A and B are shown apart, each in its own frame.
Chain A
Amino acid sequence: MTELGLRFAITLTQISVIVGIVIVTVLLLTLAERKVLGWMQDRMGPMEVGPYGSLQPFADAIKLFFKEDIMPAGANKFLFTAAPLLALIPAFIGFAVIPWGPDETWEIGGIAVKPFVISDINVGILYILAFASLGAYGIILGGWASNSKYSLLGGLRSAAQIISYELNVGLSIVGILILSGSLSLVHITNAQEGWFWNWYAFKPWAPQFIALAVYVISTVAETNRVPFDLPEAESELVAGFFTEYSGLRFAFFYLAEYANMVLVSCVASALFLGGWNAPYPGTLLSLIGFPSLAWIENTMWFAFKTYSFLFLFFWLRATLPRLRYDQLMRFGWKVLLPIALANIVITSIIVFIQEQLK
């Protein structure tokens, strides 16, 4: 029983550390997004709270926390409350299978623990995709329960959009599954060890950078970000599915959107850019004599890759105008889907030829 208790305690610690990191990242992102957008548009961004606006996220959090909680007349109370949670849980649950650092095993109190991944399940990437597809429920139910036509239209739009683009997300990673022969994220990142051309985005003979492009575009659409933020197009739908939301419930939707961004960035760097692997073999810290601290370097590389993807999200937002709804659908089904399918066919042919030549 003590062993079980210890395991329980270790897992709970891992979960709380990772949830803490994600929430802190989201807080940073809300500030970073406004700062980056500001600089790109030749403005200062938020400057009032704290030095250079650095305390702005806390001011926002306090404001949202103390706002009046308004529920529109005729709203479905149960679903109106449940929808933000239904959006939030799938966004956070996927982090359970993300490998943040090297595939080491530490001995804690006689129990072998993998410190940098909460759970290494053998269908890891399918697990993430499965729960990501459930995020649509929060949005569509939030839109419906608000008893407002703008919310309902936003929710319906988003359901159609998420389903269309989730297909492309799934198909764009099939090439990697063919190359690695595994669905476990830990296994996939381990297979990308060594120089950076071992990363699946640049893998010789079957590079997946086209798949990476499809993945990034589709995830931008799946997380409802500009230029695909049709569900919350403010010029047409006020604010889309969360028009009627305020206070903490609104904050939950906001948190879910940003946690989703972090999640898809983590998956992109784990699948395509080698995850925690440095672009050179081994680590510099183990080279200069600190092999026990090498994990710091590895986790920093993972963070760097993830934050680069997050920066890309902001960059796209500052650069591109919003698509029209029919353009969005046509682009997803008639451009991205054939590219993703062609990538699968070409990758499998190349892998087959390589297997024959061995």
Chain B
Amino acid sequence: MAYVFFGYFAGVIALTAVLVVALRNPVYSALSLLVMFFHVAGLYVTLRAEFLFAVQLMVYAGAILIFYLFAVMFLTEKTPDRYHIQSWGSLLIGGAIIVEVVVLIGQHGISFGSSVARTAAPSPSEEGNTESIGQLLYTSYLFPFEVASLILLVAMIGAVVLSKKDLPEVPPS
């Protein structure tokens, strides 16, 4: 049963991830990304990580992707074609990544069964994983957590500063 669900979610994730870059209409790309986020959330459910499931939907699907759609609808009115010009450099980078993937798989082999067994192994604690995540974040991972929040704060302030237009002085009438 776990294999069926994992296969379904993984398959749809791979398919929609390809569609995000392959579809010509940017709105469809965004929607395909939405479907992908849903299935990633589904994977979290099979891993019994309900908190991550909810956060995945809320943050990625509910907030970030809406902003993508927002931008796409504003910027690509009738001419989405300019997003489909690929430079030769991307072919080079893509080729390098494919070679890397092939090399990695060649070294370790595809251990599909063992990875599924590993994910099923950690028994969910009785208290639920929201509490465990909170405990871990504020004890073992306190420093990385604070660093991450500081980086996000800096990014936020940077965005505010960048988007702030210097309004011309309005002469008092």
Residues of A at the B interface (CB closer than 8 Å) are: 76, 79, 121-123, 126-127, 129-131, 133-134, 136-137, 140-141, 144, 152, 155-156, 159-160, 162-163, 166, 170, 183
Q: List 25 A-B contacts (CB under 8 A).
A: A79-B27, A122-B128, A123-B51, A123-B53, A126-B50, A129-B54, A129-B58, A130-B53, A130-B54, A131-B57, A133-B57, A133-B58, A134-B57, A134-B61, A136-B62, A137-B34, A140-B69, A140-B70, A140-B73, A144-B69, A156-B73, A159-B66, A163-B67, A166-B62, A170-B58
Residues of chain A within 8 A (CB-CB) of B83 are none
Of the candidates B67, B69, B130, the one whose C-beta lies within 8 Å of that of A183 is B130
For the complex formed, measure the closest distance between the CB of A231 and the CB atoms of chain B, giving whole angstroms.
13
Say whether chain B's binding surface is mostly helix, strand, loop, or mixed. helix
Residues of chain A within 8 A (CB-CB) of B88 are none
For the complex formed, measure the closest distance between the CB of A55 and the CB atoms of chain B, giving whole angstroms.
39
8 nearest A-B pairs in the assembled complex, by CB-CB distance = A133-B62, A126-B54, A130-B57, A122-B128, A130-B58, A123-B50, A130-B54, A123-B54
Say whether chain A's binding surface is mostly helix, strand, loop, or mixed. helix
Bound-complex Cα distance A120 to B128 (A): 13
For the complex formed, measure the closest distance between the CB of B112 and the CB atoms of chain A, giving whole angstroms.
28
For the complex formed, measure the closest distance between the CB of B160 and the CB atoms of chain A, giving whole angstroms.
11
Residues of chain A within 8 A (CB-CB) of B34 are 137
Residues of chain A within 8 A (CB-CB) of B57 are 130-131, 133-134
In contact, A126 and B51 (Cβ under 8 angstroms): yes
Please encode chain B, from 53 to 81, with 1 for each CB lying within 8 Å of some chain A CB and 0 for all others.
11101100111001101100110000000
In contact, A152 and B73 (Cβ under 8 angstroms): yes
Using a Cβ–Cβ cut-off of 8 Å, how many residues does chain B contribute to the interface with A? 21
Of the candidates A126, A162, A166, the one whose C-beta lies within 8 Å of that of B55 is A126
Residues of chain A within 8 A (CB-CB) of B50 are 121-123, 126
Bound-complex Cα distance A269 to B131 (A): 25
Bound-complex Cα distance A136 to B65 (A): 11
For the complex formed, measure the closest distance between the CB of B57 and the CB atoms of chain A, giving whole angstroms.
4
Residues of chain B within 8 A (CB-CB) of A160 are 70
Bound-complex Cα distance A131 to B57 (A): 7
For the complex formed, measure the closest distance between the CB of B109 and the CB atoms of chain A, giving whole angstroms.
36
Residues of chain A within 8 A (CB-CB) of B61 are 130, 133-134
Residues of chain A within 8 A (CB-CB) of B128 are 122-123, 183
Bound-complex Cα distance A121 to B128 (A): 10
Residues of chain A within 8 A (CB-CB) of B51 are 123, 126
